[in-house]
Structure 1
């Protein structure tokens, strides 16, 4: 295995995941706001599941996305 090529491909993939995931979340939150589905909600639970076929890897990351304004 060529570690340099592997790491470059991995970084490209993770960048694509980050950029496309952010765009999809922003669009979905915008639609939900426009439809009034987020009224009264202060945050959204979020979960990302990564799977890598061929090595049986499943990795889950969870968190919260705040919808409130930060305190000033």
Structure 2
């Protein structure tokens, strides 16, 4: 089977754009809520992670990082 590289590339980019936009909105919303509720007293970085899964191909990859507030 041969894959159309352009179709594959565009499909992956579309998915990643959706992930990026949705993730940013959710993170911003929960940080604002945390600030309003005084749950973010420390201005240190927040630990964050995303699990990328593609079950049909047994992909299970954890991506970790931090979000700085100051």
Mapped to 1, the partners of 2:9 and 2:69 lie a distance apart of 35
Mapped to 1, the partners of 2:67 and 2:36 lie a distance apart of 18
Question: Is 1:33 matched with 2:35?
Answer: yes
Select 1:45's aligned residue among 44, 47, 51: 47
Q: 1:11 corresponds to which residue? A: 13
Structure 1 consecutive aligned stretches of length 4 or more whose deviation exceeds 3 Å:
none
Q: CA RMSD in A?
A: 0.9
TM-score by length of 2: 0.90
The unaligned stretches of length 5 or more in structure 2 are: none
Query: Which has the larger helix fraction?
Result: 2
- The number of residue pairs the alignment matches comes to 68
Mapped to 1, the partners of 2:43 and 2:53 lie a distance apart of 30
